[in-house]
Amino acid sequence: MKQMCRFIIITVILSISIVYSTVHVIAADAIASGSCGDAGNNLSWMLDSEGALTISGTGSMANYSARTAPWYYNRGSIKDIIIDAGVTSIGNYAFYSCTQLTSVTIPNGVTSIGQSAFFGCSDLVSVTIDNNVTTIGKEAFAECDSLTTVTLPTSITAISNGMFTGCGNLSSIVIPDSVTSIEEYAFYSSGLSSVAIPDSVTFIGRSAFAWCKNLSSVTFGNNVATIGESAFSECSMLTSVTIPSSTAFIDKYAFAFCYNLTAAYFEGDAPNVNSCFGNDVTLYYIPGMRNWCDSDAYSTITGKWNGYQLEAWRPDGFVDVSPIAKIEVVENREILCSFIPEVSAFTKVLIGAYHPESNAFIGAASCAYDGNTNSISVLFNLSLPENCILRIFCLNDKFVPMYRVSEFFQNGYSF
């Protein structure tokens, strides 16, 4: 009798275990499946009832257009994506608008991610991409509103068009040293608060960082040659930028509507610019660099270059920007200039006179400087009216301005 009872109990326990196991298997069973390879059946997919979408097989995934991926109408159920080692690419629009997806890890077998592959995955928080990925298509992660963490591979050469457009919670990102181009709209209207552009980057495209309302700090690498149209427009938190000596062209509106931007510091020769700053921005140049005060774009009457207020600076600070220690006006026509003794890199002093009340250019006078004295006298051949503006330049032997003196106020004259 006892053996019979023991047998019944064991049978019941085994039955319960079998039922539980069967239920568990059913719970993770496939709810949809099919093929997704670019060659037909080389890749297959399966979505289980727990929300895991598995891509398996060997080779490339097929490319799709919006709303045509075979699992698109099950996208609301996709919570996790598992990509097997044999898969070599992720197709265009593959996971478009998978709004329940929260994280993605791209394995080392994948070498390319297609256009808009994760576009509109609104709950996607983190993305990790293996270093074997060499290309990422345009708008691959656009409109991923919750995205905060991205690890980009060190093998890509471009941040493609619109890659992170509309990623409002993406506050920071490390751009790999392999990247040479940041293409148009790459980070448009993203949440970036700061960005460091590596030395490898030579090109920043149109509107690449436009409408980044939290962007307060931009560090340019030493090889940026082109800053495209509206590249940083509407970045209202920017207060200053430093443009590297490598930059040859800044397109129109590049820093337009940056309402708190007041200063742009240039480390090299004047670039070709096209109405790229707001009217209230002062441009700072390093004395001795070309195409600033020595160009037709500079007005000795207004002290402006291409319509922008121009001032001198040095990368190590503003101390002793001018070699002139003191200026005196004698009898309204002779100007005595006293120099800081250790500064002797220039060979000539040029002074232009402008009268703001009559809006007239009065004249100019110059004098050679041999560096052996601490002062020289520059004599005008006409009388200077009071309250005129004197713009004083110290030139080298090639007549390139090394310094421009400003903000001296004495005897009714401004300098």
Flag whether 152 is in a domain. no
Flag whether 107 is in a domain. no
Bridge partners (DSSP) of residue 30 are 48
Flag whether 89 is in a domain. no
The CATH number assigned to the domain holding 410 equals: 2.60.40
Write out the chain's pLDDT in tens, 415 residues.
Answer: 445 545 444 454 445 444 444 444 444 689 999 999 999 899 999 999 999 999 999 999 999 999 999 999 999 999 999 999 999 999 999 999 999 999 999 999 999 999 999 999 999 999 999 999 999 999 999 999 999 999 999 999 999 999 999 999 999 999 999 999 999 999 999 999 999 999 999 999 999 999 999 999 999 999 999 999 999 999 999 999 999 999 999 999 999 999 999 999 999 999 999 899 998 999 988 877 889 877 888 886 777 899 998 887 777 654 344 667 777 777 777 888 777 665 556 788 888 887 878 878 788 888 888 877 778 888 887 788 777 777 777 777 656 556 666 544 444 455 5
Number of domains in the chain: 1
Domain residues for the domain of 365 are 324-414
Flag whether 349 is in a domain. yes
Flag whether 377 is in a domain. yes
Residue with tokens 């040293």: 177
Flag whether 350 is in a domain. yes
Flag whether 344 is in a domain. yes
Flag whether 88 is in a domain. no
